Amino acid sequence: MLSPLFPVFQCNPPLEISGVPDKAKSLVLIMDDLDAQLVAGHT
């Protein structure tokens, strides 16, 4: 989602993944926003 308030964040930073085994069927990317507000029920 693009935000007119934060135009600097309207680009996708490069992402390079290496060392994936040939037999891998999927990858998982987990991201955590340390500045985000806590959600009720989330610890």
Split at pLDDT 50, 70, 90, the class of 19 is very high
User: What amino acid is encoded at 40 in this protein?
Assistant: A
Q: Please state, rounded to an integer, the average pLDDT across all residues of the chain.
A: 76
pLDDT tens digit sequence for 1-17: 555 666 555 566 778 89
Residue 30: pLDDT over 90: no
Contact 10, 18 (CB under 8 A): no
**Could you give the count of Cα atoms lying within 13 Å of 36 in the half-sphere of its Cβ?**
9
Mean predicted confidence (pLDDT) in 21-39: 85
Give the contacts of 17 (CB within 8 A, at least 6 positions apart).
27
The pTM score is 0.40
Alpha carbons 6 and 29: distance in angstroms, whole number? 24
